[in-house]
């Protein structure tokens, strides 16, 4: 899993992808998320950004953590070029998709590949995940996992069937799904990296909550930064897809916001009480 505390997300960046990835890295991001799904991602332009970063800025591929995703046919726009032949079986679709990702990104290995979602059938999900295991065993992929998986039973079934635990889960994490408590807890308890998206945009009421405002005011940061930092301290690695350079710098800086001491249940200062209040609301602690 990535040691980076925050990941730059490239969905919906379209023609701006190269410039934004370069900007994100120059402003401190060291982990990048993309997908072999042309309707939402420009994986090829992430590849251009990687080349530009190395050639113009001396930032090598091994200095970055690169994650992509295999998207099954239901998640693709069939009017756009597909990363595999649609008549292939699910295993070969995944293998073809990853080979294309390696090519367009211009890398010899990927730090992580996720299934963009479980398949309709458990057997297809397991077949696809076994293909990820093969790629990991071959050294082409370092870590493997799932996205958009909101049922712990699916993660447990994959482990039983494939003999390999999912290493990363990337899910929507927001007030609308009660911050995905069940899966997030399972990941925390089983050493699985939990990556969150919709972290800010999906929780407007939380960002306006008086306790989060208290934390932000005391630590001279924004409520968005405070939420990112609390997420990190509870075992969550957030994605940020900001297109604003100031926000890029602010997002990277959240790991330096000192909130660890306020997690102590014995502390009763204003900030510690506010931290526990947010933890109760979000994690049920």
**Nearest to 29, CA basis, from 60, 58, 64, 55:** 64
3-state secondary structure of 81: coil
Are 140 and 110 in contact by the 8 Å Cβ rule? The answer is yes
- Residues 18-52 pLDDT 10s: 999 999 999 999 999 999 999 999 999 999 999 99
**Nearest to 180, CA basis, from 191, 169, 190, 167:** 169
Summarize the confidence of residues 5-16 as an average pLDDT: 98
Cα 132 to chain centroid distance, Å, stands at 17
Residue 267: its pLDDT value, please? 84
| 1 confidence band (pLDDT: 50, 70, 90) | confident
What is the maximal distance between C-alpha atoms in the chain? 62
CB atoms within 10 A of CB 138: 9
267/282: higher pLDDT: 282
For residues 50 and 70, give the distance between their C-alpha atoms in angstroms, rounded to a whole number: 20
- Residues 127-176 pLDDT 10s: 999 999 999 999 999 999 999 999 999 999 999 999 999 999 999 999 99
Are 141 and 148 in contact by the 8 Å Cβ rule? The answer is no
- Residues 66-124 pLDDT 10s: 999 999 999 999 999 999 999 999 999 999 999 999 999 999 999 999 999 999 999 99
Residue 78: its pLDDT value, please? 96
- Residues 186-220 pLDDT 10s: 999 999 999 999 999 999 999 999 999 999 999 99
HSE value, Cβ hemisphere, 13 Å, CA-based, for 250 = 18
Are 43 and 101 in contact by the 8 Å Cβ rule? The answer is yes
CB atoms within 10 A of CB 13: 21
């Amino acid at each position: 899993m990535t040691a980076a505390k925050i990941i730059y997300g490239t969905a919906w960046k379209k023609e701006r992808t190269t410039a934004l990835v370069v900007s994100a890295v120059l402003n401190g991001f060291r982990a990048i998320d993309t997908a072999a799904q042309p309707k939402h991602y420009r994986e090829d332009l992430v590849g251009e950004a990687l080349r530009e970063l190395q050639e113009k800025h001396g930032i090598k591929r091994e200095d970055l953590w690169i994650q992509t995703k295999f998207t099954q046919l239901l998640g693709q726009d069939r009017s756009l070029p597909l990363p595999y032949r649609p008549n292939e079986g699910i295993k070969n679709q995944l293998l073809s998709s990853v080979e294309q990702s390696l090519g367009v990104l211009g890398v010899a290995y990927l730090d992580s590949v996720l299934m963009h979602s479980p398949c309709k059938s458990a057997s297809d999900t397991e077949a696809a995940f076994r293909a990820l295991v093969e790629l990991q065993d071959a050294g082409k992929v370092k870590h493997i996992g799932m996205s958009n998986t909101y049922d712990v039973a699916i993660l447990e079934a994959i482990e039983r069937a494939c003999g390999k635990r999912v290493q990363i889960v990337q899910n929507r994490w927001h007030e609308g799904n009660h911050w995905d408590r069940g899966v997030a807890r399972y990941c925390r308890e089983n050493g699985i990296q939990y990556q969150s998206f919709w972290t800010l945009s999906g929780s407007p009421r939380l960002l306006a909550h008086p306790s989060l405002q208290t934390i932000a005011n005391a630590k001279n940061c924004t409520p968005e930064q405070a939420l990112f930092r609390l997420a990190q301290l509870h075992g969550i690695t957030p994605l940020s897809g900001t297109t604003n350079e100031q926000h890029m710098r602010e997002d990277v800086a959240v790991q330096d916001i000192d909130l660890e001491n306020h997690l102590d249940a014995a502390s009763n200062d204003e900030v510690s009480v506010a931290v526990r209040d947010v933890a109760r609301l979000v994690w049920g602690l």
